[in-house]
Amino acid sequence: MRIKSLIRFSLLMILSLFALNFALNFWNAHQKSQAVEQLQQETKLLAVTTSVKQGIVDIQKQVDRLGQLPQDSVPALSPKEKDKVEARSARVAGEITRLKAMADEALLPKVTAMQSRYMELAASWHQFYNHFGIDSAQAMTELVLHAEPYSQQLIYQDLPALEAHESESIEQARQHLQAVEWWSERTALVVFVLSLLVALSFAIRVYRRVVDGIQSFAPGVATVLDGGEARIGLQSKDELGEIAAAFDTISDDLHAARKQCSTLEHDLAQRNEEVEAQRMESQALLRNILPATVAEEFRAKGTVQPKYLEDVTILFTDFVGFSASTEKLAAEDLVHMLHDYFSAFDEICARYGMEKLKTIGDSYMCAAGLPERNPSHPVDAVMAAMEIVQAVTERGNRNNWSIRVGIHTGHVIAGMVGTQKFAYDIWGESVNYASRVESSGEPNRVALSAQTYGRIKDFFECEKRVKTHSKVSHKMELYFVNGFTHSLVEDTKQMPPEAFVRRYRGYFQKEPPSFPPLRTALAGKS
């Protein structure tokens, strides 16, 4: 027999036994469920019967107590008291009706007879309460001749008989449930053991058949793995024999291919080195164009998901006097000077963890707090702006350029646009507002919006200005940075000053990324 046929037959037998086991377990569960339901039904019947008995006993006790009172000296019952009694009687009648609905054919005649007798008893109670305190003779007649015999019959004969019958039924249901559980456990165990034995027997047979054949491959495979030639020569007519013949052919071909492979491996290693160098170069270029996390997302997914960032600080710069210089300077000199300025700006932004977004002509745009949240970004952006102004001031003697810097903090939408020469950019009213703050500023001054000022006022000395922006024709509340708060830069022996570091660390739970040069830091110190 072929190994495939042997395995198929083994699986078929095992599955058949498992199906038998499943069917038997299902049947046992069904029988157990029926036994449990029967036991619950009998228990409910007993509970309802007990409730009926207790209700009749309670009402009859009340009737007996009233009957023992001197009839000539007690008043008639009030309508409210009669209604309470009627309600209790009606509840007992409802319980008897429920008991009748739950009773089986053997119990139904007894419940029906009890229900009829209770209706007579309820009528006697009704007559007794109606005549109580009004017609004492008639009330006592109903109590002695009708209510008392009916209640005794129900309490001491009919209901105890029902309780005895139901107790016996509960015991029978419990014994039936135990028998079903005993049978279920043993049949399930027998079928499981049988299935396990059959499965093990077939598994051992298949294992021996396969392992004996595979062991004949071991010497030849070891020889081939060592680089030599080998033949199995297995003569069985099953799948292992076919594999052995194929192995012999492959061994011959492999020996010939190894010679050619050694040459190809050398060529492939050289190409892999070239590909890896190109990959590293492309990744470095991508990281230079996009923020690190954005570049990683673009590399992994081929796209960048737009994000709403609720707290970003945007910085705009614009050179004052640039347009006039374009008419006087040679193109090469102009580009060289812009490159010098923007390279300095790039270095400053990198130190303060800001992302350069783009340059438009002589304008430079960057942002802090993106793409990852950074609670210190407003303070970092102002320090970077102070260094940018200082960098322009130091180079101002060569071309008489000055710079306006505007900063605003707000929410933006960030994402990547374009497929050719793509760029990471931000959009939103906060971007437009930051641009208006910059255009409303003054040369070589850092202008802040009110939103940014509220975030940095504990670190910097600022002066408030109100200006009217020409494009939007309304007044803007601006703040110009004069320097660091005096108390933070009093100790100039240590840079950055210890007081500044302590406050920065307390506010943001981290160390400052950088600090402006001494002259810039002390610009606002009197």
pLDDT of res. 342: 93
pLDDT tens for 269-278 read: 778 877 777 7
Q: What percent of the chain has pLDDT over 70?
A: 82
Find tokens 């008392």 and name the residue.
148
Output the CA–CA distances (angstroms, integers) from residue 292 to 373, 374, 425, 460, in the order listed. Answer: 14, 15, 14, 30
pLDDT of res. 526: 42
pLDDT of res. 500: 93
Look up the CATH number of domain 302-521.
3.30.70.1230
- 463 DSSP assignment: E
Average pLDDT over residues 99-113: 82
Average pLDDT over residues 160-185: 83
More confident residue, 238 or 59: 59
How buried is 313 (Cβ within 10 angstroms: 0-12 exposed, 13-18 middle, 19+ buried)? Answer: buried
Cα separation of 511 and 374, whole Å? 13
Average pLDDT over residues 125-154: 76
pLDDT of res. 472: 58
> Quick check: 500 and 459 in contact, CB under 8 A?
yes
More confident residue, 90 or 345: 345
pLDDT tens for 352-397 read: 999 999 998 889 999 999 888 889 999 999 999 999 999 998 886 5
**Phi-psi domain of 234 (left: phi exceeds 0; alpha: psi -120 through 50; beta: other):** beta
pLDDT of res. 281: 66
The beta strand positions in 430-518, using DSSP E, are 445-449, 460-469, 474-484
Helices assigned H by DSSP within 319-376: 322-328, 331-351
From 68, 63, 64, 111, select the one nearest 88 (Cα to Cα).
63
pTM of the model: 0.49
Average pLDDT over residues 290-298: 71
Topology adopted by domain 31-186 = Four Helix Bundle (Hemerythrin (Met), subunit A) (1.20.120)
Across the chain, what does the average pLDDT equal? 81
> Quick check: 365 and 357 in contact, CB under 8 A?
yes
Least confident of 24-38, 436-450, 473-487: 24-38
Domain range list for the chain: 31-186, 302-521
Find tokens 């029926």 and name the residue.
34
